[in-house]
Amino acid sequence: MSNQTLTVVAKIEAKTNHLEALRKGLIRLIIPTLAENGCINYDLHQDHNNENSFLFYENWESRSHWEDHNVSFHIKAFQQATEGMIEKVEIFEMHKID
Amino acid sequence: MSNQTLTVVAKIEAKTNHLEALRKGLIRLIIPTLAENGCINYDLHQDHNNENSFLFYENWESRSHWEDHNVSFHIKAFQQATEGMIEKVEIFEMHKID
């Protein structure tokens, strides 16, 4: 399964006081992530019923490309910049059923 | 907000005994849904760490197109055919942040 396309759904919930700063930090991830090897798409969304809740819908050419993303410079910078701003993160690794 | 593209993330968890039947029912929704007015994409996934967990990632031209989908013939047939097979459904309405 390791060489098949990996879909990642990442739900990120902001602490209420940090909504705008976290939103900016998430947006800042998009351009460098799309430039990464193996990134097919990296789409950020905000929930209509809970403005604190964000969701990335991501597809990667393989799980190892996503592993590289998780230790990329921009992810590390994001983690540092948004320390204390995040209430909860849930990550789901999936494959598409055609 | 009603005329903007709507992203829907629908998580559907099967009761363990009904995994395969529910999987088939979900797959059967794809072709008629893609043929609906206003359906941009309707991608079905299965979780790597919980085979009972499925997720549709959907984009619709507007919320009203998605409302029509929810009362479509194929959704009603699916609900009837899979009665008692579903442990949990969670639906998130979102918009994409560009």
What pLDDT shows up at residue B2? 57
Q: Is residue A1 part of a domain?
A: no
Instruction: Give mean pLDDT, residues A27-49.
Output: 98
Domain range enclosing A20: 6-94
Q: Is residue A88 part of a domain?
A: yes
The confidence band for A2, taking pLDDT boundaries of 50, 70 and 90, is low
Using a CB-CB cut-off of 8 Å, the residues of chain B touching A7 are 45, 57
Q: Is residue B71 part of a domain?
A: yes
Q: Is the pLDDT of residue A1 over 60?
A: no
Q: Is the pLDDT of residue B73 over 80?
A: yes
Q: Is residue A36 part of a domain?
A: yes
Q: Is residue B64 part of a domain?
A: yes
Q: Which residues of A33-64 are buried (b: 16+ CB within 10 A; e: fewer)?
A: beebebbeebbbbbbeeeebbbbbbbbbebbe
The ipTM (two decimal places) reads 0.93
What pLDDT shows up at residue B98? 82
For chain A, the residues whose C-beta falls within 8 A of a C-beta of chain B are 1, 7, 9, 23, 26-27, 43-49, 53-55, 57, 92-97
* pLDDT tens digit sequence for B9-62: 999 999 999 999 999 999 999 999 999 999 999 999 999 999 999 999 999 999
Q: What is the CATH number of the domain that holds A34?
A: 3.30.70.100
Q: Is residue B31 part of a domain?
A: yes
Q: Is residue B50 part of a domain?
A: yes
Domain count, chain A: 1
Nearest chain B residue (CA) to A8 = B47
